[in-house]
Amino acid sequence: MAQNLSVVSLEEEMKKSYLDYALSVIIGRAIPDIKDGLKPVHRRVLYAMWETGTTHNKPYKKSARIVGDVIGKYHPHGDAAVYDALVRMAQDFSLRYPLVDGQGNFGSIDGDPPAAMRYTEVRMTRLAEELLADIEKDTVNFVPNYDESLLMPEVLPAKFPNLLVNGASGIAVGMATNIPPHNLGEVCEGLIYLIDHPKATIDDLMRFIPGPDFPTGGYVFNRQNIRQAYLEGKGVIHLRAKTTIERADKGEKDRIVITEIPYGVNKARLLENIAELVNNKRIEGIADIRDESDREGIRVVIEIKRGELPEIILNNLYKHTALQTSFGIIMLAIVDKQPKLLNLMEMMNYFIAHRRDVIIRRTKHDLKKAEHRAHILEGLLIALDYLDAVIDLIRASKTVEEAKNGLMTKFKLTDIQAQAILEMQLQRLTGLERQKIVQEHRELVELIKKLKLILKNPEMVMQIIKDELKQLKEEYQDERRTEIRDEVITDIKAEDLIKEEDVAIVYTQSGYIKRTSLNAYRFQSRGGKGRKGIEMKAEDVVENLFVGSTHSYLLVFTDIGRMYWLKALDVPDAGPSGRGKAIVNLLELQPEERVRSILAVKEFREDQYIVIMTNKGLIKKTRLSEFKNVRKGGIIAMNLKPKDSLFMAALTNGKNDIIIGTRMGKAIRFKETRVRPMGRQAAGVKAIALKPKDRVISMIVIGPEDKYIFTASEMGYGKKTPVEDYPVHNRGGQGVINLKINEKIGPALAMVGINEDDLLIITVSGKVIRIKTTAIRPLSRATQGVRLIQLEPGDKVCSIAKVRED
């Protein structure tokens, strides 16, 4: 016994044994074959169902019966593993095109387990049968099973590229695969194009196959990432749930509704995660979460607290939950019994090569069968031509063998032909049967010619592949479920998630800011009482009211000459009567710093300017682009002189006229070109000479659309005056009369340039009225105007804003 022992290196033995194990896992368990896209267990399950006749048009069979056949005949492993593989092939949320038609409980997208195999029933889907079509025609190689008692297919003939269509995932030893599913119709179109254009590029193919198509729908972002993965065989794509924001009716809450989730996400676990984040206050603003999903599809409703911004909450959900995930693409498959990383072009070419081999082998099989049958028919026709002689010879023969040899010798027949004549039934001797034999022989001759032509002509083989792909596309194609978006997901902002609309933005003296859709304010005739526009604290007043877009940046200028910015979407949509949010919670203002002016801009263009006005009549012009890089603590917008403060800022194109109005009813108009551009830290130049106790109330940058100057007083009076009534002077003068003020109308409050625009007028008590300026007739400068709003005792107008015509 000692003589049979040999000394081996432990290191070498470990290397060899581990390599054998690794190859076994890679090839025999975890990585799919490029030809049919199946791992061994899935292939064996389908073949076992095919063998038992469990096709789509036959009755269901118990899952336990199929699992038993697979284990006993082809796959000697645990029944749980085989049943898990069978179940996954029946789940429409796991496979884009299920290969098994299940009856019973096969689990759910919530992670519920399937029923035991003794309860569930299965059969193949029609599409799965296309994987095994023509398998009986020697189209693929068969190999012995584990005990060499049976044969099983090495791969399936696979009429469609299952690996691309249904994808695959698996972890082997030292490698893994993760191939996303695709739309069958798109893949078929891409394959047809590639057959016609063998030198096609990835970009050419992406015109037909734009990207993955997951069974659970959702969004895939960034086509460039998809292209990179298709080009290199690996990459990362980002998936996002399909959500909608349902705006609430009066008295109800806004809702975020989720109708599709990223592939592979467990819905129940997702909702638990959201609830946990809400309970831990990681995400605020969610009032309730409800799962209203049913057989029709997914519907998860997230109710938002009043005053909160659904877009911001949605962004937080994307950031902290599986509503947004990444999918790492690794297109690894078994090619000629070796694992290989493939790009999209290679995967498609390997499938085309596989189908070419299948069709050639099928054609050879059909040819062999046709030639065999034609050969027999030729013998039968000879017998029918010499029927009496054949009958006499058979009757004269003492044995079957003697009759067969006699036929072969006398009529020069082969053994097969002679045997067929001896086995021929007497009914075949009728004239009608003879005609059938002649017709069948003629058809076989034509078929043989056609089959031989196919084998000689590679172009005909490729045409057959195309025809089969077209047929598959017509029978099985469906609508794409996953929407592909061009945006780069890292650049997705909150404003990209909602429709752009004009909003009124209100800022109060006590520092609260809110936004409200203009649709919330209905028109009233001048002299109306207005409606409640904001819930005011005692002694609070509206200080700033202007119209912007939900996609705007808000440039916030303060009295000490600093500038901050925030996005309009960061301002809460509090509705017409809501109070809003303290601006100190949105900006890092310094102690005692007060907001004086807020501008809405979409982009920081080089050809636009910010004109800044101070209370003491100084003006400064600076390029808008100098304000685009804002630090968290703000930046200097203007260096102020002692005892002066920033009053307001406006956006210009550098070539406008500017009108400045004062509280005592004066106004001056001058060319903006009279103010040269300065840096952010400059102090500015004189715009108007003010009398004692007078101060600036408005600065208007006159645009080509401004036909009138509208002036409002504190007591609710106002007028519109043609722009031409304001003469152009040099800056620095005292100006001309703009409004004839008295105790009845009060001092001038604000001025704005208009054409046929609407006006929002807001009072100290928080009432808002929207009026059409076309209903007000033009008046000259030296007039007091007409009543705009009926004020309650003690109330005053505190702000006005123009609403664009469109």
Is the Cβ–Cβ distance between 333 and 347 less than 8 Å? yes
Q: Which helix (H) or strand (E) holds 240?
A: strand 234-240
Sheet holding 748-754, edge to edge: 748-754, 708-713, 717-722, 786-787
Radius of gyration of the chain (CA): 41
How far is it, in rounded angstroms, from Cα 252 to Cα 362? 66
Q: How many helices (H) and strands (E) does the chain have?
A: 17, 41
Taking Cα atoms as reference points, which of 122, 93, 96 lies closest to residue 107? Answer: 93
Coil, strand or helix at 640: coil
Q: In whole angstroms, give the CA distance from residue 803 to residue 523.
A: 12
Tell whether the torsion through CA atoms of 416, 418, 423 and 425 is positive or negative.
positive
Phi, psi of 699 (to 5 degrees): -135, 120
What are the DSSP calls for 275-296, one per residue? HHHHHTTSS--EEEEEE--BTT
List 122's β-bridge partners, or say none: 61, 102
d(CA 87, CA 246): 37
Helix axes 431-456, 458-476, angle to 10 degrees: 110
**Distance in angstroms (rounded) separating the CA atoms of residues 441 and 427:** 18
Distance CA(531)–CA(521), nearest Å, equals 8
* CB 680 within 8 Å of CB 636: yes
* CA–CA separation, 505 and 503 (whole Å): 6
Report the alpha-carbon distance of residue 299 to residue 248 in Å, rounded. Answer: 17
Residue 696 and residue 690: Cα distance in Å, rounded? 8
Decide: 122 and 66 in contact? Cβ < 8 Å.
Answer: yes
DSSP element (H, E) containing 350 = helix 344-385
Element holding 224 (H helix, E strand) = helix 223-232
d(CA 184, CA 161): 8
> β-strands 483-485, 219-221: how paired?
parallel
The CA distance from 608 to 376, in Å, is: 93
Residue 696 pairs in a beta bridge with: 662
- Site of tokens 């509206």: 542
Q: Which helix (H) or strand (E) holds 736?
A: strand 736-737
8 Å CB contact between 530 and 763: yes
Q: Which neighbouring-strand residues pair with 761?
A: 769, 800
- Report, as residue numbers or ranges, the catalytic residues: 119
Distance between CA atoms of 651 and 618, rounded to whole angstroms?
Answer: 16
Rounded to the nearest 10°, the torsion over CA 590, 593, 596, 600 is: 10
Q: How far is C-alpha 117 from the chain's CA centre? A: 37
Q: Give which of 241, 304, 254, 258 is closest to 278, Cα–Cα.
A: 304
C-alpha to C-alpha distance for 347 and 330, rounded to whole angstroms: 12
Nearest Cα to 80, choosing from 27, 51, 116, 107? 116
For the sheet containing 242-246, what is the strand order? Answer: 242-246, 255-260, 300-304, 286-291
